[in-house]
Amino acid sequence: MSELTLFNYQFKAMGSPCQVQIYSTDKVAAKSIADLVIKDVYRLEQKYSRYNPDSFLSEINRYAAAGKSVEVDHETASLLNYAVTCYEQSDGLFDITSGALRKVWKFTQSTPPLPNPKHIDKALKKIGWEKVRWTQSKLSFSHIGMEIDFGGIVKEYATDRAAAMAAQLGIKYGLVNLGGDIKVIGSHPDGKPWQIGIQHPQKKDDIISAIGLIGGGMATSGDYERCMLINGKRYGHILNPKTGWPVQYFSSVTVVSDFCVLAGSASTIAMLKEAEGAQWLSSLNLAHQWIDHEGTVGGSITTLTENLSS
């Protein structure tokens, strides 16, 4: 029997450095599987990028901006159904109609201005899932100028899907990492877990802890990857759809779950819940770790190395 070799394929997608790591006895077969997996990640990026005017999400948002209705396919319907669950579980804080705020907060600019509160208030009038009618195949928007944003769902969904595809194609040991959203396919061949570091949100080159995974998914939400610094104060990209302002309580939240999409939405909801986030996370019975703006670390993952499985 040929020896298993770890093949590492790196690429960039969804604005992030990504990698697919798979063990295989056949280099050609491994490359073929990796190519199929990466192709599907690019498909999802093309379909749901809000920066691509030709994406299906951009098409949806053209209907949303006009206050009209649009038919969606089965895959998009599944994402919308999950978004509804997140909306309900978060008491309305995880709201995909918050896309209107992206035009107010200029995170893509090198020296962005602090938004005018009047512009924030104007955007808030276009936000609210209750302003949308969803009938499992059709989205209807009741207000002109609305916008959907699948942030916190699509990249995590792509991670889970990529890992599932690799497993279906015969990979027993591997890992998918899409910009820090991770899904593990089994352990290493010798049974050892995949060691995954959690970056310290306030110290770029430091690892605050390491988690050993032999299955499941992991995601981190934080205010340090995409943010703006104005007058010495950091404003992260996770925006409260009820106030229009960035969340301020946590610097980062990491969650481990069976699926990356669940870990990602849970970490984002915790960030949005701010002071109530720690208690809410504890109620989920999922392994997690948080660090607040004071540098306090908490959660069920407390040591430098934790070995966890799905």
Q: For residue 276, is it within any domain?
A: yes
Q: For residue 146, is it within any domain?
A: no
CB 257 within 8 A of CB 211: no
Summarize pLDDT for 67-87 with one digit per residue, the tens. 999 999 999 999 999 999 999
Same-domain status, 14 and 161 = yes
Looking at residue 96, the DSSP 8-state letter turns out to be: G
Q: Is 115 exposed, middle or buried (0-12, 13-18, 19+ CB in 10 A)?
A: middle
Q: For residue 78, is it within any domain?
A: yes
pLDDT of residue 174: 98
Same-domain status, 103 and 214 = no
pLDDT of residue 89: 95
pLDDT of residue 310: 44
The answer for 147, left when phi > 0, alpha when psi is -120 to 50, beta otherwise, is beta
Query: φ, ψ for residue 263 (rounded to 5)?
Result: -60, -40
Same-domain status, 131 and 79 = yes
Same-domain status, 171 and 46 = yes
Residue after which a domain boundary falls, among 106, 141, 176: 141
pLDDT of residue 166: 98
Question: Mapping DSSP to helix (H, G, I), strand (E, B) and coil, where does residue 250 land?
Answer: strand
CATH number, residue 6 = 3.10.520.10
| Assigned token pair, 210 | 């390491």
Residue after which a domain boundary falls, among 76, 108, 141: 141
Same-domain status, 229 and 278 = yes
> Alpha helices of 18-108 — where are they, by DSSP H?
27-48, 56-65, 74-89
Q: For residue 133, is it within any domain?
A: yes
Same-domain status, 266 and 244 = yes
Give the whole-angstrom CA distance, residue 182 versus residue 156: 8
**Which residues lie below 8 Å from residue 174, measured CB to CB, with a gap of 6+?**
20, 21, 22, 23, 163, 166, 167, 184, 185, 186
CB 139 within 8 A of CB 72: yes
Tell me the torsion sign for CA atoms 18, 22, 28, 29: negative
Tokens 């430091």 found at = 206
Same-domain status, 201 and 309 = yes
Same-domain status, 2 and 85 = no
CATH number, residue 133 = 1.10.3980.10
CB 79 within 8 A of CB 154: yes
**Which residues lie below 8 Å from residue 78, measured CB to CB, with a gap of 6+?**
none
Q: For residue 302, is it within any domain?
A: yes
Give the whole-angstrom CA distance, residue 225 versus residue 228: 10
Give the whole-angstrom CA distance, residue 28 versus residue 292: 46
310 residues of the chain, pLDDT tens digit each: 479 999 999 999 998 999 999 999 999 999 999 999 999 999 999 999 999 999 999 999 999 999 999 999 999 999 999 999 999 999 999 999 999 998 898 776 666 778 899 999 999 999 999 999 999 899 999 999 999 999 889 999 999 999 999 999 999 999 999 999 999 999 999 999 999 998 887 777 788 888 999 999 999 998 766 667 767 677 788 999 999 999 999 999 999 999 999 999 999 999 999 999 999 999 999 999 999 988 899 998 865 444 555 4
| DSSP run (H or E) holding 138 | strand 138-141
pLDDT of residue 94: 98
Same-domain status, 130 and 204 = no
Query: φ, ψ for residue 181 (rounded to 5)?
Result: -90, 120
Q: For residue 232, is it within any domain?
A: yes
Same-domain status, 7 and 127 = no
The answer for 161, left when phi > 0, alpha when psi is -120 to 50, beta otherwise, is alpha
pLDDT of residue 224: 65
Number of domains the chain is built from: 3
Judge if pTM exceeds 0.85: yes
Give the whole-angstrom CA distance, residue 175 versus residue 177: 7
| Assigned token pair, 113 | 């201005």
Q: For residue 69, is it within any domain?
A: yes
Same-domain status, 222 and 275 = yes
Which residue range forms the structural domain that includes residue 163? 1-50+151-186
Same-domain status, 310 and 199 = yes
